[in-house]
Amino acid sequence: MKIAIMVNEGPYTHQATDSAYQFAKAAIAKGHEITRVFFYHDGVNNGTRLTVPPQDDRHIVNRWSEMGTQHNIDLVICIAAAQRRGLLDENEAKRQGKNADNIAPGFRISGLGQLVEAGIQSDRLVVFGD
Amino acid sequence: MLHIVNKSPFDTGSLASVLRVAKKDGGAVLLIEDGVYAAVKSSATEASLKAAGMPVYVLQADADARGLQSKLMEGVNMVDYGGFVDLVAGHDNVQSWL
């Protein structure tokens, strides 16, 4: 079954992203396909590669990156939510005249249309948030 | 429809809304995160969950994390994340009551 996931909360602030990750992991283990994870609102903070948690804590950003790469999951960050919160990829940094970008590997920045498309093209859309 | 509730019933009215408006036929409630507090034995919400008229599931990991293993009411079904996935796959629609 094709399952899409929406994450509306940031890492280390709310359980939502942990719940979403554990759910995705279990779904993959059961042979389902996670088609896309759409990060919206504070959820976009799951996609900054500058995150440096203490060594004895889980690395939420890397965890998503690795899962996305391993299982070919499209990790999409909402562009409007990302720009407000200082998340830029190379193109956006250039376009906005910023001297750095910070998007983590496996993530890409796109628009809300990707959420709508995920809802249409997947059998289920599961939302995690506050 | 699978109704996912992640809020304590003592914080928000999410669970009360589900129990009020959800179509019982084919419906189910899954309590995750702080939503699991609704299933504590002898709590103010026990009676309303017993009268839900649809199956109630509790995510084991979230109940365990809150020390509620032995404190849950009878009649609720414990699931792990795999069981969570099965519930999502087994219902045509999923609604998170955020």
Residues of B with CB under 8 A from a CB of A: 4, 6, 32-33, 61-62, 80-82, 84-86, 88-89, 93-94, 96, 98
pTM of the model: 0.97
Task: Sort out which chain B residues have CB atoms less than 8 A from A128's CB and list them.
Answer: 6, 96
What would the pLDDT profile of B26-77 be if each residue is shown by its tens digit? 999 999 999 999 999 999 999 999 999 999 999 999 999 999 989 999 999 9
The ipTM, to two decimals, is 0.97
* CA A23/CA A5 separation, integer angstroms: 9
The residue of chain A with its CA nearest to that of B93 is A124
**Where are chain B's structural domains?**
2-96
**pLDDT bucket at A14, cuts 50 / 70 / 90:** very high
Q: Which of A1, A18, A22, A123 to mutate to test the interface with B (most CBs of B within 10 A)?
A: A22
Say if domain B2-96 classifies as CATH 3.40.1260.10.
yes
Helices and strands per DSSP (H, E), number in chain B:
4, 5
Residues A27, A34: contact at Cβ < 8 Å?
yes
What would the pLDDT profile of A46-93 be if each residue is shown by its tens digit? 999 999 999 999 999 999 999 999 999 999 999 999 999 999 999 999
Ordered by where they begin, the domains of chain A are 2-128 (3.40.1260.10)
Q: In the 8-state DSSP scheme, what is residue B13? A: S
Q: What is the mean pLDDT of residues A21-39?
A: 98
